[in-house]
Amino acid sequence: MKAVTWQGKRDVRVEEVPDPKIQEPTDAIIRITSSGLCGSDLHLYEVLTPFMTPGDILGHEPMGIVEEVGAEVTNLRPGDRVVVPFQISCGHCFMCSAGLQTQCETTQVTSEGMGAPLFGYTRLYGAVPGAQAEYLRVPQAQYGPMKIPEGPSDDRFLYLSDVLPTAWQAVAYADVPRGGTVAVLGLGPIGDMACRIARARGAERVFGVDLVTERLARARGRGVETFDLRSFDSEKELVAAIRDETDGRGPDAVIDAVGTEAHGSAAARMVQQAAAVMPRVLSGPIAERFSVDRLAALHTAIELVRRGGTISLSGVYGGMADPLPMLTLFDKQIQMRMGQANVRRWSDAIMPYLTDEDPLGVDEFATHHVPLSDAPHAYEMFQRKQDGAVKVVMRP
């Protein structure tokens, strides 16, 4: 089959690879019909390079048609239309029962000291072959894949794999009081969708911050009060402008939908780049022990949120030596909640929003649909935010 493979920093290629096969009785094989390109994939493209191996198949936002199931997968049969969560979890352990599927005790990547494995996401997350491919082996298929109705186009349901539960969890963890205010930093797919969900779930005012014209316009078109980072001389000015809108206090909650590749801090960028170009044997452990994130967005969140408010991180961070302003965090009594989204914890609550009325605008959410063969260009376009690219969906 054809698959999008990682070959090196900013180097992805479509290659011919062996078809996946059933290996465990709990596996299924899916023929992929749509596969999202995610901001998380851009970390692999750039800063998480030390944890990748050339040839790794990328992608973790799949949906498609069941081709084959293992003996213990009784809930699915060939021909079913399914969307697959980006993490692999069992559905019955202590963690899964507690709605913490990303911490699944059956599937945890214990060799790396990490939580549940993810499709197409570094050796830290199990080096599981990813979903930007014609076929995908889905472990724990007795639990993960969600059956979806025939009829609407793939885009109606595709985002259940990642964008929707991630944005939903971001809003749930932000704990915005009814009638309260929330600021969303970053208006990529995750931040954009978090704004939509926050509004749908009763936030009175939603402030959105980014530095890309089309992304700001897209959010503004859905009732978000937007702030263009480029029009402020400093983070302090941005914080002051949003505080002015919230009785001088700052919003009740701030969602960081930016993560480790934030624009803002040149020093941290140099350290990240140094780790990414080191020889592989060195860079893995070094990146693990001494890595620092670009913390511009997180620092803004800490300044911006009102005293006693909540910061909800969905942006991915990976640093082991990040300097944080503990005095401010402690003095402002800030609550911080974070993590990969627990997909199946939220999927049932999201489903009623995926109707013909389309309150979250999923049908029109993708800006680009491309064949798998265009993946190299799609990665570059999405990373550089060219051509109005916000959400790219590949159709193998």
Ligand X SMILES: NC(=O)c1ccc[n+]([C@@H]2O[C@H](COP(=O)([O-])OP(=O)(O)OC[C@H]3O[C@@H](n4cnc5c(N)ncnc54)[C@H](O)[C@@H]3O)[C@@H](O)[C@H]2O)c1
Residues that bind Zn ion (CB under 5 A): 38, 40, 89-90, 93, 96, 104, 106, 162
Q: Tell which one of 66, 340, 375, 393 touches ligand X (CB under 6 A).
A: 340
Burial class (CB in 10 A: 0-12, 13-18, 19+), 232: middle
- Examine residue 318 and tell whether it contacts ligand X (CB under 6 A): no
Q: Tell which one of 27, 56, 134, 162 touches ligand X (CB under 6 A).
A: 162
Q: What is the secondary structure of 326-377 as a DSSP string?
A: HHHHHHTT-EEEE-S--HHHHHHHHGGG-STT-TT--TTT-SEEEEGGGHHH
Q: Of ligand X, Zn ion, none, which one sits near residue 117, judging by CB under 5 to 8 A according to partner kind?
A: none
Least Å from the CB of residue 313 to ligand X: 8
Q: If you ran DSSP here, which 8-state letter would residue 115 be given? A: S
Q: Of ligand X, Zn ion, none, which one sits near residue 89, judging by CB under 5 to 8 A according to partner kind?
A: Zn ion
- Examine residue 186 and tell whether it contacts ligand X (CB under 6 A): yes
Give the residue with the Cβ less far from Zn ion, 93 or 167: 93
The Cα 242–Cα 300 span in angstroms is: 11
Residue nearest to ligand X (CB): 39
The Cα 147–Cα 222 span in angstroms is: 30
Per-position x/- string for 264-283, each x denoting binding to ligand X as judged by CB under 6 A, each - no binding = x-------------------
Q: Tell which one of 38, 63, 69, 206 touches ligand X (CB under 6 A).
A: 38
Q: Tell which one of 166, 181, 291, 312 touches ligand X (CB under 6 A).
A: 166
The Cα 375–Cα 380 span in angstroms is: 9
CA angle 27, 33, 37 (to 5 degrees): 95
Residues 6 or more apart whose CB falls under 8 angstroms from that of 56 comprise 5, 6, 120, 122, 127, 129, 130
Q: Of Zn ion, ligand X, none, which one sits near residue 88, judging by CB under 5 to 8 A according to partner kind?
A: none
The Cα 106–Cα 90 span in angstroms is: 6
- Examine residue 296 and tell whether it contacts ligand X (CB under 6 A): yes
Give the residue with the Cβ less far from Zn ion, 38 or 271: 38
Q: Of ligand X, Zn ion, none, which one sits near residue 189, judging by CB under 5 to 8 A according to partner kind?
A: ligand X
SS3 81: strand
Give the residue with the Cβ less far from Zn ion, 90 or 164: 90
Q: Of ligand X, Zn ion, none, which one sits near residue 166, judging by CB under 5 to 8 A according to partner kind?
A: ligand X
Give the residue with the Cβ less far from ligand X, 232 or 353: 232
Q: What is the secondary structure of 168-235 as a DSSP string?
A: HHHHHHHTPPTT-EEEEE--SHHHHHHHHHHHHTT-SEEEEEES-HHHHHHHHTTT-EEEEGGG-SSH
- Examine residue 185 and tell whether it contacts ligand X (CB under 6 A): yes
Q: Tell which one of 44, 82, 297, 354 touches ligand X (CB under 6 A).
A: 297
Residues 6 or more apart whose CB falls under 8 angstroms from that of 261 comprise 42, 43, 46, 47, 294
Give the residue with the Cβ less far from ligand X, 142 or 314: 314
Residue nearest to Zn ion (CB): 38
SS3 per residue for 249-288? CCCCEEEECCCCECCCCHHHHHHHHHHHHCCHHHHHHHHH
- Examine residue 292 and tell whether it contacts ligand X (CB under 6 A): no
Q: Using CB under 6 A, which of the segments 47-55, 65-73, 259-267, 304-312 binds ligand X?
A: 259-267
Give the residue with the Cβ less far from ligand X, 125 or 135: 125
Are 87 and 124 in contact by the 8 Å Cβ rule? The answer is: no
- Examine residue 393 and tell whether it contacts ligand X (CB under 6 A): no
> Which residues in this chain contact ligand X in the complex, by CB under 6 A?
38-40, 42-43, 162, 166, 185-191, 209-212, 215, 229, 257-259, 262-264, 296-297, 314-316, 340-341
